[in-house]
Amino acid sequence: MNEYVTAQDLKDWDMLSGTDTRPNHEPAKREPKEPRKMPVRENKPRVSSPVRLENARQYAKTISQAEAVSKALEIVTVKLGYDLTTATTTATKKARRDGWHTFCLLIKILYKDFTLRGVSDAISVPNAPCREALGNMFMACRDECPHSESELKKLI
């Protein structure tokens, strides 16, 4: 066997396929690979986790609070005619405050299990009171609201 590569060896070597093209040399035959088997997963029935159930309950509560806020804003602005955004004069400030107290009482009537955060997140009115002021309004709404509960229940 010759240890040196000759010009004929280089000429016979196919660089792209990596095989020897000489007539007496046959490329090595490879045996075909067996196809890989994928593991079969069993379809197990899904078990509802407590976290998913709690998330679904929380979502339903958020939607209910948003619907109550929407209904209360509609009653206060459309049916009772309060302007909840402007507070330029003393009279408009008082009317705005009365409107927000009426809103808080309507929320208490419409949705008993409300949370202050849920209500304040659902309010889409510009110049709405901050969460702290809204919390104080919820505490004082029965005393400060110019309308009675029975009158508001009739409007609902």
In a domain, residue 56? The reply is no
Residue 73 within any structural domain of the chain: yes
Q: Which tens digits make up the pLDDT trace of 31-77?
A: 777 877 777 777 777 666 777 888 888 888 888 889 989 999 999 99
Distance CA 111, CA 82 (A): 21
Which tens digit of pLDDT belongs to each residue from 102-140?
Answer: 999 999 998 888 888 888 888 888 888 888 998 898 898
- Confirm whether pTM is higher than 0.85: no
* Burial group, residue 139, by CB count within 10 angstroms (0-12, 13-18, 19+): exposed
Question: Is 31 a member of any domain?
Answer: no
Whether 29 is covered by a domain: the verdict is no
- Whether 116 is covered by a domain: the verdict is yes
Report the number of distinct structural domains present in the chain.
Answer: 1
Domain that holds residue 146: 69-155
